[in-house]
Amino acid sequence: MKTWILNGSPRKDGNTAYLIEQLVRRLDGESKIFFAYDSVASPCIDCRYCWNHDGCSLDDEMQEVYKEIEASDNIVLASPIQFMGLSAPLLCVASRFQRYYAARKFRKTEPFAMPKKGAFILTAGGDGGAKYAGAVARLILKEVGADCLSYAMSLRTDVLPSRNDQKVLEEIGKMAKILNGA
């Protein structure tokens, strides 16, 4: 089993990273984490190349991301909530998943042989925006062929850090079981 995790947090030792670490410790098989803040991938330029061709006209590190997604059984999105949404670097990377939407919509092909399992992790220093960020996470998972089967949210991290949030740690444990197929 292979799990690909898109980490949208700028902090490699913060709340989001801690929850990802807890998930990875419980997952079977191989896990690979992609840090959106380290990415030099360009956002989608809406050139519409993918409307008629398999792939993307932009030749950058996203070519490797596509290979990882296509080879993975599980896809997990993880992000702090910023202005009621996912982080901008995560959305930049996700904009390039337009190629999968175009495959279905315009070329009438399914880009993935089998559905993937999907999940998302959200953290926030306040309590606003989880509804909207979760809706966008579900949409992104759908575009990469993943059924959203689980989520975990640690809100109010300004009061209760994720590492001390027993409820979210239990949700992470349940998420791992689902992704492991239990």
- Per residue in 104-146, pLDDT (tens digit) is 999 999 999 899 999 999 999 976 679 999 999 999 999 999 9
**Pairing state between β 2-7 and 116-124:** unpaired
Q: What average pLDDT is seen over the chain? A: 96
Mean pLDDT, rounded, for 4-23: 97
pLDDT value at residue 129: 75
Q: What percent of the chain has pLDDT over 70?
A: 99
Mean pLDDT, rounded, for 19-31: 98
pLDDT value at residue 76: 98
146-166 pLDDT per residue, tens: 999 999 999 999 999 999 999
pLDDT value at residue 150: 98
Asked if residue 15 lies in contact with residue 164, where contact means CB atoms within 8 angstroms, the answer is no
pLDDT value at residue 127: 65
Exposure of 88 in the CB half-sphere (CA atoms within 13 A)? 3
pTM over 0.85, yes/no: yes
pLDDT value at residue 152: 98
Mean pLDDT, rounded, for 60-68: 95
Across the chain, the runs of DSSP E, i.e. the strands, are: 2-7, 30-35, 74-80, 116-124, 146-155
| Whole-angstrom distance, CA of residue 143 vs CA of residue 110 | 11
CATH superfamily of 2-180: Flavodoxin domain (3.40.50.360)
Domain boundaries, the chain: 2-180
Give 59's pLDDT tier (boundaries 50, 70, 90): very high
Mean pLDDT, rounded, for 159-178: 97
pLDDT value at residue 21: 98
Mean pLDDT, rounded, for 10-20: 96
Q: Which H helix or E strand runs over 51?
A: none
**Pairing state between β 30-35 and 116-124:** unpaired
pLDDT value at residue 107: 97
